[in-house]
Homo-oligomer: A and B are copies of this chain.
Amino acid sequence: MAEPWPLVTSKVMCSFPIYRLRQDTRRSPKTGKDHTFLVLDSTDWVNIVPVTPQGNVVMIRQFRHGTASMVLEIPGGMMDLDGETPQEAALRELLEETGYVAETCIHLGSVHPNPAIQNNRCHTFLAGNVRRERPQRLEGTEDIDVLEVPFEDIPGLIDRGEITHALVLIAFFWYQRYLDARGIGRPQRMG
Contact = CB atoms under 8 A, between A and B. Distances in A.
Q: How large is the interface on A (under 10, 10 to 19, 20 to 34, 35 or more residues)?
A: 35 or more
Given A70-B4, A141-B28, A180-B191, A165 B65 contact: no
A111 B169 contact: yes
Given A65-B26, A111-B165, A170-B170, A143 B2 contact: yes
Nearest to A118: B66
A14 to B, nearest CB: 8
Copies of this chain held together in the complex: 2
A18 B28 CA distance: 19
A164 interface: yes
Nearest to A144: B2
A47 to B, nearest CB: 11
A67 interface: yes
B117 A18 contact: yes
A121 B166 CA distance: 9
Contact of A2 (B5, B7, B40, B70): B70
Given A110-B164, A177-B191, 17 more contacts: A2-B61, A2-B62, A4-B68, A4-B69, A7-B68, A26-B65, A28-B143, A40-B66, A64-B115, A67-B118, A111-B164, A111-B169, A114-B114, A114-B166, A170-B170, A176-B191, A180-B189
